């Protein structure tokens, strides 16, 4: 698995070479995959799950140290979840909770919850109360305090059994990790996003946002943005200014300060896609700024109105170049998810 590093000031990527001293056969470096999850703790990113068509699904925990720029495979104990992909993961203090996904070995969807205690590196099965969220994969989970909000994903009329009769729910379920209790939110707004899978979700300033995704029943990709207020239990559609990403799924979003960095994703070459071979993988980068500075707004105006930049200082021209120069870093890998 390769690692690319983004400088969020210059908006430039660089590829991190794999250390020569590492032997990939010993498993310290995870194999290439999709449908995995990553959570951060201190200076480390913890990768769990995912699969590829050659090696299958995985349930090994990997750690990438962002200071040492090294991979490791921490030793874990306890009730280790079965290998899967399309699950979700959230970190609450020193614990990582995972939910759902598709378990390869027993060929079924999951709606179970497991927790990894980073202090003891011990996995535990979580016995939950209330009515759990339906079996699903490729949903999203956002952590707000001790509450984990689940939205979207692909379910099946067969429950945990795959029958190829898909369900795309737009309900929101919440797991209170302090009491291990499930509940379904009673949404008060008339506006709700369509059910979807392989979308992105993130939390910023008291709201849970979702972007993009795909609905297999309608064969529809999305590039809309919705925000959920978990206190008022109300959705609203967010109108975004600027050059918006095209409809897509399987992109990733990271919140840094007041900015959301969106990378990659998969879109149909033509809408709708006739089959999986009509999809294209992106390696583009977009930035959603919730609190743009006057400088950023001026730069956007220069680009929008195609103003002459010859009279601008070199530093401003460099900023404009960073905002518009193509920065391709990857190639198509697969069409699943």
pLDDT of 22 over the 60 cut: no
Q: How far is CA 38 from its chain centroid?
A: 9
Q: Is residue 290 part of a domain?
A: no
pLDDT (0 to 100) of residue 269: 85
Q: What are 6-17's pLDDT values in tens digits?
A: 999 999 999 998
Q: pLDDT exceeding 90 applies to what percent of the chain?
A: 86
Q: Is residue 176 part of a domain?
A: yes
Whole-Å CA distances, 225 to 89, 247, 255: 21, 11, 15
DSSP β-bridge partners for residue 288: 260
pLDDT band at 333 (very low <50, low <70, confident <90, very high): very low
pLDDT (0 to 100) of residue 231: 96
Average pLDDT over residues 329-336: 53
pLDDT of 332 over the 80 cut: no
pLDDT (0 to 100) of residue 3: 94
- Cβ–Cβ under 8 Å, residues 145 and 154: no
> How many C-beta atoms lie closer than 10 Å to residue 3's C-beta?
15
Q: Is residue 263 part of a domain?
A: no
Please give the DSSP secondary-structure letter assigned to residue 31: P
pLDDT of 265 over the 90 cut: yes
Average pLDDT over residues 160-182: 97
Q: At a CB cut-off of 8 Å and minimum separation 6, what does 156 contact? A: 109, 135, 162, 163, 164, 165, 166, 167
Q: Is residue 289 part of a domain?
A: no
Q: Is residue 125 part of a domain?
A: yes
Q: What are 31-42's pLDDT values in tens digits?
A: 999 999 999 999
- Angle, vertex CA 255, rays to CA 221 and CA 114, nearest 5: 80
Query: Can you give the CATH number for the domain in which 113 is found?
Result: 2.120.10.80
Q: Is residue 157 part of a domain?
A: yes
pLDDT band at 146 (very low <50, low <70, confident <90, very high): very high
- Its domain, for residue 76, covers 3-185
- Count up the domains in the chain and report the number: 1
The rounded mean pLDDT for the chain is: 93
């Amino acid at each position: 698995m390769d690692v690319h590093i983004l400088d969020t000031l210059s908006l430039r990527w660089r590829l991190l070479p794999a250390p020569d001293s590492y032997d990939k056969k010993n498993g310290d470096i995870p194999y290439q995959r999709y449908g995995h999850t990553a959570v951060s703790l201190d200076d480390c990113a913890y990768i769990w799950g995912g699969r590829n068509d050659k090696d299958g699904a995985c349930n090994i925990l990997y750690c990438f140290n962002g200071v040492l720029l090294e991979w490791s495979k921490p030793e874990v104990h306890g009730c280790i979840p079965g290998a899967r992909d399309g699950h979700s993961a959230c970190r609450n203090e020193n614990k990582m909770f995972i939910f759902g996904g598709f378990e390869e070995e027993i060929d079924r969807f999951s709606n179970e919850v497991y927790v990894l205690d980073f202090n003891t590196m011990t996995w535990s099965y979580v016995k939950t109360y209330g009515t759990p969220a339906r079996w699903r994969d490729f949903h999203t989970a956002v952590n707000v305090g001790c509450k984990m909000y689940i939205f979207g994903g692909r379910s099946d009329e067969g429950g945990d059994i795959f029958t190829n009769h898909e369900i795309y729910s737009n309900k929101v379920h919440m797991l209170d990790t302090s009491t291990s209790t499930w509940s379904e939110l009673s949404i008060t707004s008339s506006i709700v996003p369509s059910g979807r899978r392989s979308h992105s979700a993130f939390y910023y300033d008291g709201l849970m946002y979702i972007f993009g995704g795909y609905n297999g029943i309608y064969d529809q990709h999305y590039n809309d943005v919705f925000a959920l207020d978990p206190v008022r239990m109300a959705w609203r559609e967010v109108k975004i200014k600027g050059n918006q990403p095209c409809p897509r799924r399987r992109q990733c979003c990271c919140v840094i300060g007041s900015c959301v960095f969106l990378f990659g994703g998969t879109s149909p070459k033509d809408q709708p896609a006739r089959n999986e071979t009509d999809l294209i993988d992106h390696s583009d980068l977009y930035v959603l700024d919730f609190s743009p500075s006057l400088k950023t707004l001026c730069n956007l105006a220069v680009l929008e109105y195609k103003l002459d930049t010859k009279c601008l200082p070199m530093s401003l021209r460099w900023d404009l170049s960073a905002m518009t120069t193509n920065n391709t870093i990857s190639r198509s890998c697969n069409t699943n998810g």
